[in-house]
Amino acid sequence: MGFVIRILQGFMLGTMSSISPLLLLEVAPIEQTGLYGIFNQICIVIGNIVNFIIGEYQKPYVMCIFSAVVHALQLCLIWLILAYTFKEHKNDQDDQPKESIFQKQYI
């Protein structure tokens, strides 16, 4: 059983480490993209430290279960972030009137 959980954990870790930063930056407000990127890296480091502590004092399957639960929780909670994509931000800027280069002052 531990072997199967370990394989699933590997798939989840690979998927989450590549997709979650992209998804976080996609839904983050424009002004806070750096904060969301840094927050992702800090949480990865904290998760590694917690896994090392769990691995030192608990049985190995506890570490696998903890990692799987944390990643499943992140998969569910990512949908609670208010979605405000770059495309929407660009569309908001498109609503503002633009200055034409064919005005009298430019000709």
**Residue 103 above 80 pLDDT?**
no
pLDDT of the residue at 86: 54
**Residue 102 above 60 pLDDT?**
yes
- In tens, the pLDDT along 48-83 reads 898 889 888 988 888 888 878 887 887 787 777 666
CB 16 within 8 A of CB 71: yes
Q: Which tokens belong to 73?
A: 């929780």
- In tens, the pLDDT along 79-99 reads 776 665 555 555 555 555 666
Q: CA 87, 93, 99: angle at the middle one, nearest 5?
A: 140
Residue extents of the structural domains in the chain:
2-94
